[in-house]
Structure 1
Amino acid sequence: MGYCLKPFRESAANHYCRLFAPSRLPADQDRYREALMALGSAMIDDGSRVSDDRPEILVDCGYTYFGQFVAHDLTKDVSSVDEAWRKEPEELENLQTPKLDLGVLYGDGPESSGELYEEDRVRLKVGLSRPGGRSFDICVGADGGRVLADDRGAENLILRQMTAVFARLHNFAVEQFRGEIAEEKALFDRARLQTQWQFQWLVCRDYLQTLLDPKVYKKVFGESRSTIRWDTFSIPIEFSAAAMRFGHAMVRPNYLFSFGQEMRFPKIFGRTPDRGALDDKLEIKWGFFFQGASPEGALTSRPIDTRLSEPFHELPADLIGTPEVACPHFRIAKNPAQLAVRTLLRGAGLRLASGQTVARAFGECVMSARELSQNCDSEETEKGRILREAGFLQETPLWYYILKESELIENGNRVGPTGSHLVAETIHAALRSDPSSYLNQPSANNSPPIWKFPNGNLRIYGLSELFRLAPLL
């Protein structure tokens, strides 16, 4: 299998492990935190070019939100930024199972999470049907509240409707097998497995293959040569707090939901309404998110680089909590509202290994000080100056390093090698450690499940195909 690494410290499955030894905090922690906050504040998209001499590989903007859906299915850490400085990863509870099992849809199943299911305890509740019999929203209860296994499924308008697509896919599977399986629990289990296998196929064979470094992807998924050997698998803190957060850079400041319906960041990323169903005008035409899903042309994601869309520099209070909440460990008066600042401070508090340490462990070339600090015109950037003055050029925060590597090596179109190792190894191990996952089935690498549509049997090979079929579900 090619193993050469063991996690530095393993944990129970419902907590987080640490792959690499913790970094040492500097003596002057106030200056350290100030430097991290300055670096995060400088990570704003100023519109400047990354490079002129590398071809673009355009990534549809829907991949950003499918990645968020995947991340939510693997990890849920509700600890505060301040708690990250006071606890070890194995003390932090992961409120999701470390499996790609669609727990964000199913919760703990019909017996324990009955509020998610119709009376038959087989079908998931979905939003009300619109004219023509279609539904595009999640279920809303009699009191107007959202009916979700994980409230993050309504974190934004795009993820909310994507969650609804997978709920309807499960119900489609129920009807596909209803004529073959009479007993309700067996019918539910078979439909859930069908939906899980389809989801896992899309993660491995489309999402990861599109976004990860091709050599890393081939080694881990094509050749099953894992670098890390777990005795007990749990989600690595390096994955949840750094590597899988590459998707933050992919978020655009604006999207198209339908023709002439441009939606800007504040309307999308403030939490969706706590009460009531979505207005019909907010229904997404998935062709704007996945090329070929409908006649519209898909918008592309932002590059994966060290810049975030401007609205991420002032997150809404309903996403991060009351701004006046103190973070005593930082000696700052309020909860930081900048996403990059929050991510860097969390990573530092968790004492994540540096990007250089992780790159070396996976046998990857380490970026030089010049590469980390200069732009494509060989000029030191503001972020580069902060890295230099803070002493971060030899010990770069892991999340920043992963983004910079993607920017430098992949022109922002894929995750660089170091980040790709962390993402690929984690998701591969999550699937291998789950006996029921599609990777552990005899014909796993051949094809996805068969779906029986009125016009014939279909296999869904990619995200574009799934969302093209969404109106039929």
Structure 2
Amino acid sequence: MSQARMKHGSESFFIEGEGLLTTQVGGRTGDEADPVSESETPRAPAPRALAADAAPPFRFSRVGPRGTALGAAATRKLARAMVVGGGGPGDVPAGYTYLGQFIDHDLTMDRTDVMFGDDVRPVDLLQGRSPRLDLDSLYGNGPGDAASAKFYSDGLHLKTGTTLAVPPDRAKPGHDLPRVGKGSSKAAKRTALVPDLRNDENLVVAQTHVAMIHFHNRVLDKLPVSVPPTERFTRARKRVTLHYQWMIRHDYLPRICQRSVLDDVFASGRKLVEPDAPPASIPTMPVEFSVAAFRLGHSMVRATYNWNRRFPGTAGSLDFLFAFSGTSGDMFGDVRLPSNWIADWRRMYDFPAGGRPGLAAPGSNVNHAMRIDTRLTDPLADLPLGSFGGDASIPDGDLRRNLAFRNLVRANMVRLASGQQMVTRLKARGVDVTALTRAQILDGAGGARLDHLTAAEKNAVVARTPLWFYVLREAELNDGRLRGVGARIVAETFHRAMEGSRFSIVRNPEFRPSLGRDDTTFEMTDLLFFAFGGKAGINPLGG
């Protein structure tokens, strides 16, 4: 996910000790780095130092050594092998795919206007925009900041939007993102009024952001009247953030990571990601996490979704979910989300498994994410141009629109460590991790087939496996959950992000949730149920 632009065309990584690396993979023109064509060997741009008085808004670090690019031909072949259709559904409800995307955008904040307002000092940017699970993608700099005040209706509540009536479905207040609503074009009018426009990149992440808005607003409304007006926002944000972190730690992460690794990291601490950092200090973001390990969600994307009563079965195609967003699509000319495209959350999360049998999806037909493995659903071979800021000169079928190619090239451009290098680094830090064998790398378990690589290319892949592919292959061989290298990078990065947050369940281990079914359970289904006040908001179209 992009850290320095609102789309995926160009990314900037201020890596400690190296300077600023700016990468572009066939995205917008005019950025510092040249686009990479199919015929070029992906290369890393030279680091560029920032001026001393320009504190970087987002700092990256390396937790592994620099790697060596795989090579252009093998990179292209690997990318094509990965985008041939997902390897089959796993056991994780599909909503967690896009919850992961929302979380990623919280960890890797854009250079949006709210970050670069004239009244925000560089030191504030560094403190306020860092890899911490603080929900700054939801809150911006808070209602007291001039650039962020536009996200709030009254200085306390976050704004919501109203959908567009499409008979027989009426306009539904509160079920669209708030939108600018003015400007010289429809594109300007439908621009989401949120701190991070990537959260309007597809309909599912946009509806997830809407749910988080409701969560904050309802927590605020439930505060005791005795809480002074000057303390109400901070008190609500603290409660929201701690419940959000608890849900990530105890609901989201165990679904994607081997539980034994999570438990070890959260009980015994980190060995790879800033192990000696002062707990309350500002974290950095490992490029190994951002550019590789946490791109696991790309393999979880489905081609179609049983979306709601108007678009059931396979009618909710991924193309439609891109189209009904303000960043990747144009909502077919509308400036607000049509009411017939509101999410039915019962179909994206398993509410009966979460203790609410009355909220079962019709026919118990909950969408399940694709298994985490080395195969991506085939629509991701041809991304919409709006999703990465590409221009009209990039034709359909061009490899620069292939998500796997974009991920692999970007890793080459920042000289990311290979899977083998990360195994060595982890062992040196005292982590017990088993390296994948040659056969496991080449053959996998129902994932990408590498038969079409030459013998030399196979040897290169085995010797220096791209980290993203390596992490996905590990998961593929572990029933769709991260293990080994991938699990350790993800678990430690999340631990550090929570530890360094202003409100932290790591630094406050006594915290227990109060908004779920009991004082030990708070899952995403609990968050949605609380946020929307029950069934009517979870499934506003009925049926």
Quickly say closer, same or farther: Cα 1:8–1:96, change in 2 above 3 A: closer
Q: Secondary structure at the match of 1:402?
A: helix
Question: Which deviates more from structure 2 when the two are superposed, residues 95-104 or residues 414-423?
Answer: 95-104
Quickly say closer, same or farther: Cα 1:140–1:220, change in 2 above 3 A: same
User: What's the CA shift string for 1:408-454, capped at 9, x where partnerless?
Assistant: 2x13x21222111111101101111224212222513xx21347xxx
The reply on whether 1:285 has 2:349 as its aligned counterpart is no
Contact kept in structure 1, 2:102 and 2:205, CA below 8 Å: yes
| Number of matched pairs | 427
The reply on whether 1:322 has 2:418 as its aligned counterpart is no
Distance 2:307 2:85 in 1: 25
Distance 2:514 2:506 in 1: 13
The reply on whether 1:257 has 2:316 as its aligned counterpart is no
- Alignment map for 1:215-230 (pairs within 5 Å): 215-224=260-269, 226-228=271-273, 229-230=275-276
Match for residue 448 of structure 1 among 513, 525, 533: 513
Distance 1:264 1:95 in 2: 37
Q: Secondary structure at the match of 1:16?
A: strand
Distance 2:157 2:105 in 1: 22
- Alignment map for 1:417-428 (pairs within 5 Å): 417-428=484-495
TM-score by length of 1: 0.81
Alignment partner, residue 83 of structure 1: none
Contact kept in structure 2, 1:97 and 1:103, CA below 8 Å: no
Calculate the aligned-residue CA RMSD, in Å.
3.3
Alignment partner, residue 85 of structure 1: none
How far has the Cα of 1:379 moved from its partner? 12
Name the % identity: 27
- Alignment map for 1:87-106 (pairs within 5 Å): 96-106=129-139
Q: Secondary structure at the match of 1:136?
A: strand
The unaligned stretches of length 5 or more in structure 1 are 1-6, 27-31, 50-55, 79-92, 327-333
How far has the Cα of 1:382 moved from its partner? 3.1
Q: Secondary structure at the match of 2:487?
A: helix
Q: Secondary structure at the match of 2:461?
A: coil
How far has the Cα of 1:21 moved from its partner? 1.5
The reply on whether 1:39 has 2:78 as its aligned counterpart is yes
The reply on whether 1:308 has 2:369 as its aligned counterpart is no
- Alignment map for 1:324-403 (pairs within 5 Å): 336-362=400-426, 363-376=432-445, 381-382=450-451, 388-389=457-458, 391-403=460-472
Q: Secondary structure at the match of 1:189?
A: helix
Distance 2:347 2:220 in 1: 29
- Alignment map for 1:102-121 (pairs within 5 Å): 102-112=135-145, 113-118=148-153, 120-121=154-155
Contact kept in structure 2, 1:197 and 1:449, CA below 8 Å: no
Distance 2:127 2:485 in 1: 24
**Code of the aligned partner of 1:268:** L
Alignment partner, residue 529 of structure 2: 468
Contact kept in structure 1, 2:200 and 2:325, CA below 8 Å: yes
Distance 1:306 1:285 in 2: 29
How far has the Cα of 1:256 moved from its partner? 1.4
Distance 2:447 2:101 in 1: 34
How far has the Cα of 1:312 moved from its partner? 0.3
Alignment partner, residue 4 of structure 1: none
User: What's the CA shift string for 1:382-421, capped at 9, x where partnerless?
Assistant: 366588446121110000101111112x13x212221111
Q: Secondary structure at the match of 1:352?
A: coil
Alignment partner, residue 286 of structure 2: 236
Q: Secondary structure at the match of 1:301?
A: strand
How far has the Cα of 1:156 moved from its partner? 0.6
Alignment partner, residue 35 of structure 2: none
The unaligned stretches of length 5 or more in structure 2 are 1-14, 20-55, 112-125, 183-188, 353-358, 427-431, 538-543
Alignment partner, residue 45 of structure 2: none
Q: Secondary structure at the match of 2:350?
A: coil
The reply on whether 1:432 has 2:466 as its aligned counterpart is no
Contact kept in structure 2, 1:373 and 1:388, CA below 8 Å: no
**Code of the aligned partner of 2:316:** M
Quickly say closer, same or farther: Cα 1:94–1:457, change in 2 above 3 A: closer
The reply on whether 1:404 has 2:449 as its aligned counterpart is no
Question: Which deviates more from structure 2 when the two are superposed, residues 360-369 or residues 99-108?
Answer: 360-369
Q: Secondary structure at the match of 2:246?
A: helix
Distance 1:315 1:358 in 2: 30
The reply on whether 1:414 has 2:481 as its aligned counterpart is yes
